[in-house]
Amino acid sequence: MSVPILTTKHMAMPALGLGTWPMKGAECQAAVESALGLGYRHIDTAEMYGNEDAVGAALAAADVPRGEIFLTTKIWWDKPDGPSFRAGFEQSLQRLRQPYVNLLLIHWPSPQLDLPSVLTEMARLQEAGLARAVGVSNFPPGLLKQALAHKIAELSCIQVEQHAMLGQDRILALAGEAGMVTTSYTPLGKGEMLEDEVITGIADRLDATPAQVALAWLLAKPMVAAIPKAQGPERQRENLGAAEIQLSEADIAAIDALPKNRRFVNPSFAPDWAA
């Protein structure tokens, strides 16, 4: 199974990873161990998921050298300045039992976010080797532009919701220009899009599954990764198989043409997405 590697100056990220939210405890540890056993080499967690300890336990138990694993964590929006961000991240590293993560993200922007202060701290954490690469999540295009314009930290990645029912053209253009990876979260639309007739039709024709087609559509985009969450080995294996699916231009165009207005993750503290 060959998963493409997306490369920036600071990271080499396997384009398919395992999402871990909302798994916790032994269930999360087992899912991450299973995924690593199947060949996943990219694991996505966050301070807020309450599962960094379980992810850390899985990494410790797994028979895979740490250097082969790409690990992302994210710091919650209640740490809106450099000192609180660093303190939160140091606790994440402890829970993960790791000397470093491959990618450290601001999980969500908040109205209190002191962006220059957090970016400055991220640059320091990167310089110190505690975070090999840094980036942001849930930033609307205008805020991503601001973060890039500061030129304080070299951002390698933006993680946003993206799937066959929600496009991110403005983010993709900005990230592409900046040489950043765009990681697609909720790439299966929580499973809802897997009933869509266009997707099931393509899946039937290619002898693939709807989830594989939905993921392959994302992976066909340059510098785009996806982090589907699947608890059990069967779906984990199935999702990893998306890396083997080649969609034709016509299939890609058919999925492109589906309405792109379905956002599944929109909490009360979400930013103005059009900003």
Ligand X SMILES: NC(=O)c1ccc[n+]([C@@H]2O[C@H](COP(=O)([O-])OP(=O)(O)OC[C@H]3O[C@@H](n4cnc5c(N)ncnc54)[C@H](OP(=O)(O)O)[C@@H]3O)[C@@H](O)[C@H]2O)c1
Nearer to ligand X, 53 or 63 (CB): 53
Nearer to ligand X, 154 or 238 (CB): 238
Of 40, 49, 100, 185, which one is the catalytic site residue?
Answer: 49
C-beta nearest to ligand X: residue? 19
CA distances from 182 to 5, 94, 176, 202 (A): 13, 27, 8, 25
Closest distance of CB 232 from ligand X, Å: 6
Helix axis angle for 210-219 and 249-256, nearest 10°, is 100
SS3 state of residue 234: helix
Closest distance of CB 48 from ligand X, Å: 8
Task: Provide DSSP, 176-201.
Answer: HHTT-EEEEESTTGGGGGGG-HHHHH
Nearer to ligand X, 127 or 186 (CB): 186
How far is the C-alpha of 5 from the C-alpha of 131, rounded, in Å?
19
108 token code pair:
């969500």
Please report, as ranges, the residues that interact with ligand X according to CB under 6 A: 19-21, 44, 107, 137-138, 159, 185-191, 194, 211, 227-232, 235, 238-239, 265
Nearer to ligand X, 21 or 40 (CB): 21
> Are the C-beta atoms of 46 and 74 separated by less than 8 Å?
yes
For CA atoms 213, 230, 16, 184, give the dihedral sign: positive
48 token code pair:
């807020």
How far is the C-alpha of 73 from the C-alpha of 52, rounded, in Å?
8
Nearer to ligand X, 20 or 182 (CB): 20
How far is the C-alpha of 258 from the C-alpha of 214, rounded, in Å?
12
How far is the C-alpha of 191 from the C-alpha of 180, rounded, in Å?
27
Is 100 designated active site?
no
Closest distance of CB 107 from ligand X, Å: 6
* Residue 5: partners with Cβ closer than 8 Å, 6 or more residues away: 12, 13, 14, 15
Q: Would you please indicate which residues are annotated as catalytic (active-site) residues?
A: 49
